[in-house]
Amino acid sequence: MIAQNVTISGLNHNYTDTDLPIADQGVSLGTIEISDDVWIGANCVITQGVKIGKHVVVAASSVVTGDIPDNCVVGGIPAKILKQYITDEGYWKRIQE
C-alpha cells in the first residue's frame, strides 16, 4: 500500500567532486525492491538502491536511504528502525537509540 505524494526514485545526482558543478557530474542509477505487505506512508521518499523487506511500515514523511529488513516499523530522516517484530516470541519490540 502506497499513500499519496510518495516519491520512489532510482536516480541520484552525483556530487562528490567539489571542483565541478553538480549538474555536470552526472547521475547514478539503482534498482528499488519493495517486498510484499509494505505500507509506505504519505510524503515519503524512497531513494535508489533500497530494498524494503516484507511486513514493513514506513512512517509518513520518512526518507528511506538504506535497506529495511523484514517485520519493521521505520521512520525519520533518514528512516531508522523504530520497532521490530520478534517472530520467535510474537511481539513488537521498540528499538531504543
Active site residues: 13
- Tell me: pLDDT of 97 over 80: no
Q: How far is CA 83 from CA 25, 58, 89, in A?
A: 38, 11, 14
The whole-angstrom separation of Cα 86 and Cα 17 is 43
Encode pLDDT of 36-54 as tens digits. Answer: 999 999 999 999 999 999 9
Domains of the chain, first to last: 7-13+22-94 (2.160.10.10)
90: left (phi over 0), alpha (psi -120 to 50) or beta: left
Quick: pLDDT tens for 66-82: 999 999 999 999 999 99
- What 3-state DSSP class applies to 23? helix
